[in-house]
């Protein structure tokens, strides 16, 4: 979608939602009703809206559309509650826990139905429970924004290095993804119902941020994501005297790059030989799988030279289980990363 047709106008008036408003210079914390429990009690999501005195864009930060993905929760909470935003130009809409029922149950999907909130946007007020909830969130807090960042982690038992996922064919989305200043951007249009896809289609460019694993807070990822948020706000001139960051190196992985999950060919216990974010050479043994007696071994080798974007955390596999996610980099970037990590590509 051309950048000039997007919802990029500055926001110098009140931020309004169904049932309330936040005027310039005000901060509001609320619990917004999006559904009901089996007992008819309200299901409410926490929302913090900070409306700056000076005009600027409106941006949302969202997390935990999958209820067990916790790292993003802490990122959004810290921005909303710990940052000095007295000079904020524009409005921040902070949504740390979108899927409250799944968060309470500490599971990925909506309890009972098992439906995926992050495949249910923009929602439907007359459809399933999860789509009705998605509709309330989308209409009130996502669609009114100029752009947004949606935080995720890998699924249970796996972990991801910090990276952005974005449709880099959309110029406005690409600008946002680059501003976040991660080393890696995976360019993909995404799937129908995804928050980032549906928001972008509605004129609110949105990027998914992947970081770490489920069921825990990981300080290193949280700190790096906070730096990325600061860089984004600098890019759109929402934080005075703050600079857009450069990560040192960056690669954008497109459909032209090889990318695959390496899978186990035998069941057993996994010994990883490369860390997350490491550059591995073609033919290098990335992991060894052995039986309980350690007298039978299977080796997982890299089919091409690339970066380990994701890996398993639970070191026990069946045949066919994913072990690690490997992606090819541009040739020039490969040389830069190899030099930084001390990898001899010619040896």
| pLDDT of the chain, 347 residues: tens digit per residue | 332 333 444 445 899 999 999 999 999 999 999 999 999 999 999 999 999 999 999 999 999 999 999 999 999 999 999 999 999 999 999 999 999 999 999 999 999 889 999 999 999 999 999 999 999 999 999 999 999 999 999 998 899 999 999 999 999 999 999 999 999 999 999 999 999 999 999 999 999 999 999 999 999 999 999 999 999 999 999 998 899 999 999 999 998 899 999 999 999 999 999 999 999 999 999 999 999 998 999 999 999 999 999 999 999 999 999 999 999 998 899 999 999 999 999 86
- Give the pLDDT confidence score for residue 12 in this predicted structure: 55
Cβ neighbours of residue 156 under 8 Å, at least 6 residues apart? 68, 108, 213, 214, 215
Q: Whole-angstrom Cα distance, residue 129 to residue 127?
A: 7
Contact between residue 106 and residue 99 where contact means Cβ atoms under 8 Å apart: no
**CA–CA dist 26, 118 (Å, integer):** 30
Residue-wise DSSP of 186-248: EE----TT-HHHHHHHTT--EEEEEEE-TTS--HHHHHHHHHHHHHHHHHTT-STT-PPP--S
Answer for the pair 329, 336: CB distance below 8 angstroms, yes or no. no
Contacts of 241 (CB under 8 A, 6+ apart): none
Structurally, at CATH architecture level, domain 3-252 sits in 3-Layer(aba) Sandwich (3.40)
Token pair recorded at residue 298: 């299977």
Question: Computed from CA positions of residues 32, 138, 61, 19, in that sequence, does the dihedral angle turn out positive or negative?
Answer: negative
Q: For position 4, what pLDDT does the model report?
A: 31
Query: What is the rounded CA–CA span in Å between residue 73 and residue 30?
Result: 16
Between the alpha carbon of residue 243 and those of residues 217, 236, 238, the distances in Å are 27, 10, 11
What's the CATH number for 257-341? Answer: 2.40.50.100
Asked if the domains at 3-252 and 257-341 fall in one CATH topology, the answer is: no
pLDDT of residue 11: 46
Query: What are the structural domain ranges in the chain?
Result: 3-252, 257-341
Question: Which residue from 326, 314, 264, 309 is spatially nearest to 157, judged by alpha carbons?
Answer: 314
Q: Residue 181: left if φ>0, alpha if ψ -120 to 50, beta else—which one?
A: left
d(C-alpha 208, C-alpha 164), whole Å: 6
Task: Residue 94: count other Cβ atoms within 10 Å of its Cβ.
Answer: 23
């Amino acid at each position: 979608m051309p950048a000039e047709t997007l919802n990029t106008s500055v926001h110098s008036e009140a931020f309004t939602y169904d049932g309330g408003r936040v005027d310039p210079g005000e901060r509001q914390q609320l619990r917004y009703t999006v559904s009901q429990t089996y007992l008819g009690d309200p299901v409410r999501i926490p929302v913090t809206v900070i409306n700056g005195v000076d005009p600027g864009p409106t941006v949302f930060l969202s997390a935990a559309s999958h209820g067990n993905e916790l790292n993003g929760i802490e990122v959004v909470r810290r921005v909303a509650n710990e940052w000095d935003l007295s000079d904020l130009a524009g409005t921040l809409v902070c949504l740390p826990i979108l899927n409250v029922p799944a968060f309470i149950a500490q599971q990925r999907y909506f309890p009972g139905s098992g439906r995926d909130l992050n495949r249910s946007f923009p929602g439907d007020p007359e459809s399933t429970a999860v789509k009705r909830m998605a509709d309330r969130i989308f209409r009130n807090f996502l669609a009114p924004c100029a752009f947004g960042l949606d935080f995720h982690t890998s699924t249970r038992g796996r972990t991801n290095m910090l990276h952005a996922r974005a449709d880099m064919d959309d110029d406005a989305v690409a600008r946002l993804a680059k501003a976040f200043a991660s080393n890696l951007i995976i360019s993909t249009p995404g799937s129908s119902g995804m928050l980032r896809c549906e928001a972008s289609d509605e004129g609110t460019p949105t990027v998914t941020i992947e970081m770490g694993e489920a069921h825990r807070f990981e300080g290193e990822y949280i700190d790096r994501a906070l730096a990325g948020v600061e860089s984004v706000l600098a890019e759109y001139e929402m934080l005075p005297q703050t600079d857009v960051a450069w990560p040192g190196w960056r690669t954008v992985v497109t459909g032209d790059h090889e990318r695959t999950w390496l899978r186990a060919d035998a069941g057993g216990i996994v010994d990883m030989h490369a860390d997350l974010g490491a550059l591995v050479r073609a033919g290098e043994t990335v992991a060894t799988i052995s039986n309980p007696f350690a007298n039978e071994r299977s080796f997982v080798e890299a089919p091409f030279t690339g970066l380990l974007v994701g890996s398993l955390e639970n070191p026990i596999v069946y045949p066919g289980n994913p072990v690690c996610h490997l992606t090819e980099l541009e040739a020039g970037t490969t040389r830069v990363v190899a030099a930084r990590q001390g990898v001899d590509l010619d040896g």
